[in-house]
């Protein structure tokens, strides 16, 4: 028996399956959100750099006014962007998101990445600034140097950011706070400096090719919900197949949703491979967000409650844990807080693209 909700360390209930919205184009996102909620999803995951929060806000407004769902029945999670780590920008980042989502509070606000990047002094970077080179416009969410690597804000650190995150819970702007893309050492650091509101969620990449068992155990012991992102393997991401600095397709030779062993299990139950992968996440005790903007797939993906993988089927997944990380983001690998530095010996993707850490780090 797999429960639909888990209890967070602050006592709130969090759905174990959520809809992701990264790379969901705005013109498809409103319908996707409405379809998801009508199909049973109660967790929606978003972020200001996804450029679709304003559309999600419109969808929520319609869902509430049509009586489909009440605000308190939803769990809405958003993220603090890397340019807004400085204490004076943290609250404004969330206020902008709340404005776009047309909400008074979110259920979870997580630090998107540990790497703080320049914000140009008093400026709080916003989505409309778009993506451009830092030296051309410092008012950007994506400040990169001439080599395409991210700049570092040397006067900002996530420990100081966390102190402000805690105040947002007291102010009622978010019910809980959490982390994303932090490694174990970085999470431990946050736990050691937390005064009142401990992280409830750690949202990191995990799927059948990257189980993250140590991190999951660490989270369980510390009462942090491990929430897998790219839970289906994030297929169809165009950069994976090109020669850019973020390329790297799975070395198994198969996309996760096309892996023959998973396909075989799916056929047995009359389910999709996505359903089988989601069921694996749930049966190892995890929680997840999976993205789709296709109404048929959104609805079908949520049908994971009416079948159960056997022990033998679960053990098939043990063979697939090859340490492939699709979002290694090597453009940030010269940042002192690049989270995957500690994992490099076990990572099988993109290793040649990681920048030599001994090189000088560029600051703005
Ligand atoms: N914190 C972070 O830094 C971070 C990073 C990455 C992701 N996330 C979050 O996690 C969410 C999920 O991760 P993700 O978007 O990277 O990838 P994902 O959910 O693993 O995979 C999404 C891809 O799978 C396709 N798909 C979905 N259901 C399918 C099915 N039944 N059959 C075949 N293809 C299917 C989608 O296409 P269609 O839309 O066409 O169905 C899309 O191309 C994100 O949307 C975001 O909310 C967070």
Q: Cα(89) to centroid of ligand 1, in Å?
A: 29
pLDDT in tens, 220-234: 999 999 999 999 998
State the DSSP code for 96: H
pLDDT in tens, 173-219: 999 999 999 999 999 999 999 999 999 999 999 999 999 999 999 99
- 257 CB within 6 A, ligand 1: yes
Q: Cα(123) to centroid of ligand 1, in Å?
A: 31
5-127+156-353 CATH pick, 3.40.50.300, 1.10.3720.10, 3.10.20.600, 3.20.20.100:
3.20.20.100
158 is catalytic: no
Residue 69 above 90 pLDDT?
yes
* All structural domains of the chain with their residue ranges: 5-127+156-353
List 41, 50, 158, 229, catalytic entry: 50
Structure tokens at 258: 């096309």
Averaged pLDDT for residues 110-138: 66
- 236 CB within 6 A, ligand 1: yes
- Split at pLDDT 50, 70, 90, the class of 139 is low
If one counts every other C-beta atom within 10 angstroms of the C-beta of residue 285, the result is: 13
Helices (H), 223-272: 260-269
Q: Cα(300) to centroid of ligand 1, in Å?
A: 14
pLDDT in tens, 223-267: 999 999 999 998 776 556 544 434 466 777 888 999 999 999 999
**pLDDT for position 126:** 64
State the DSSP code for 144: B
């Amino acid at each position: 028996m797999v429960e639909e909700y888990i209890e967070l360390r602050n006592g709130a209930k969090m759905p174990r399956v959520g809809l992701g919205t990264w790379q969901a184009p705005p013109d498809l996102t409103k319908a996707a959100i409405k379809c998801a909620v009508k199909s049973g999803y109660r967790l929606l995951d978003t972020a200001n750099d996804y450029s679709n929060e304003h559309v999600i806000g419109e969808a929520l407004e319609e869902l509430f006014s049509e009586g489909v769902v009440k605000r308190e029945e939803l769990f809405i999670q958003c993220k603090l962007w890397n340019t807004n780590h400085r204490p004076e920008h943290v609250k404004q980042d969330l206020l902008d998101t709340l404005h776009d989502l047309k909400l008074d509070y979110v259920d979870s606000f997580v630090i998107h990445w540990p790497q703080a990047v320049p914000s140009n002094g008093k400026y709080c970077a916003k989505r409309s600034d778009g993506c451009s080179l830092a030296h051309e416009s410092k008012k950007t969410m994506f400040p990169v140097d001439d080599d395409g690597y991210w700049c570092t804000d040397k006067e900002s650190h996530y420990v100081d950011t966390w102190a402000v995150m805690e105040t947002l819970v007291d102010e009622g702007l978010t019910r809980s706070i959490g982390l994303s893309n932090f490694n174990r050492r970085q999470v431990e650091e946050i736990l050691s400096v937390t005064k009142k509101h401990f992280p409830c969620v750690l949202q990191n990449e995990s799927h059948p090719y990257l189980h993250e068992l140590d991190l999951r155990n660490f989270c369980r012991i510390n009462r942090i919900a491990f929430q897998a992102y790219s839970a289906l393997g994030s297929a169809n991401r165009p950069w994976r197949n090109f020669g850019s600095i973020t390329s790297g397709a799975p070395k198994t030779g198969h996309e996760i949703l096309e892996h023959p062993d998973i396909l075989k299990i799916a056929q047995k139950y009359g389910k999709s491979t996505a359903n089988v992968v989601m069921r694996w996440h749930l049966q190892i005790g995890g929680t997840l967000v999976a993205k789709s903007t296709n109404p048929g797939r959104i609805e079908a993906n949520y049908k994971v409650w009416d079948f159960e993988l056997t022990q033998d089927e679960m053990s098939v997944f043990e063979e697939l844990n090859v340490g492939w990380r699709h979002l290694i983001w090597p453009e940030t690998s010269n940042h002192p807080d690049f989270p995957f530095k500690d994992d490099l010996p076990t990572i099988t993707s993109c290793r040649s693209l990681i920048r030599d850490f001994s090189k000088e780090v560029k600051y703005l």
